[in-house]
Amino acid sequence: MESKNDTKISEFLLQGIAEDPELQPLIFGLFLSMHLVTVLGNLLIILATISDSQLYTPMYFFLSNLSFVDVCFTSTTVPKMLVNIQTERKAITYEGCIVQIYFFILFGVLDNFLLTVMAYDRFVAICHPLHYTVIMNHRLCVSLVLASWITSALNSLLQSLMVLRLSFCTDLEIPHFFCELNQVVLLACSDTFPNDMLMYFAAGLLFCGLLAGILYSYSKIVSSIRAISSAQGKYKAFSTCASHLSVVSLFYGTGFGVYLSSAAAQSSPSSATASVMCTVVTPMLNPFIYSLRNKDITGALRRLFVGKL
């Protein structure tokens, strides 16, 4: 294939999940349903934490922020995919692709930060219960969330600006249902070494580094729980972090699965299929994990809706 540089390209083509026209209505209905469940479930958690004074605690403050980020995360990619299926077009403008890259990285990294902050919150609650209210004061909680936003925004801005310096070839098809950073860089004709180094550095620092922080927090939590003499006390301590541990396992498990499959088959649509788990399914399951066995959330929702009847 003849290759030429073209810095003034107008659009990319998103291959999507499957090219079979007969599958498009099924895919549209499935993704629309999952997106609506994700938005509704996370908004209910936000509404519960805002409306009930009993949930004005650091844990639920971080949870409401995580729910907001999950809504934004899935809304970055799914609506555009649904529009393309409905209009039978695969195109996304160059500017739209850059914007999608920016917000996808922003909210993806924010998820990492908030899960790490929530692990620290559980660490303080279990390992230093007598000093919990002093350590996890409102000022610290707001500062942790604000620092997470600023760091994520700066990283996302840097990654997006590095894409702007690239020249692209005549092959502009992205084997994904959204503009995934690595797949866009692979289409470039110009030198991508700085982009690759930045991606590896950010992945090591922001992904693996934050995961190490979570693992450290839970290593201390496990040690503290083992020191508790009564079985009931151990169960109560573990139950306070069970939901968060489940979300962490789901988030990082699917994340590693997606990018390992992407590394094994860089241009295969299978990597796009795998990324559905991380970008769509995980944000949809989070509200169920946090609410089904959480009496505080279910109680707040019951008081909110029953009280209005």
Domain residue limits, the chain: 11-306
> What b-and-e string marks burial along 120-147, b requiring 16 or more CB atoms within 10 Å of the CB?
bbbbbbbbeeeebeeebeeebbeebbee
Alpha-carbon dihedral of residues 238, 244, 246, 247, nearest 10 degrees? 180
Dump pLDDT digits (tens) for 65-124.
999 999 999 999 999 999 999 988 889 999 999 999 999 999 999 999 999 999 999 999
List the structure tokens of 140: 């610290």
Q: How confident is the model at residue 274 (pLDDT cuts 50, 70, 90)?
A: low
3-state secondary structure of 188: strand
Class of the domain covering 11-306: mainly alpha
More confident call, 6 vs 26: 26
| pTM assigned to the model | 0.91
Instruction: Say if CB 41 and CB 288 are below 8 A apart.
Output: yes
Bigger pLDDT: 269 or 283? 283
pLDDT at 269: 53
Quote the CA–CA distance of 101 and 187 in Å, as a whole number: 14
Contacts of 268 (CB under 8 A, 6+ apart): 175
Identify residue 25 by its one-letter amino acid code.
P
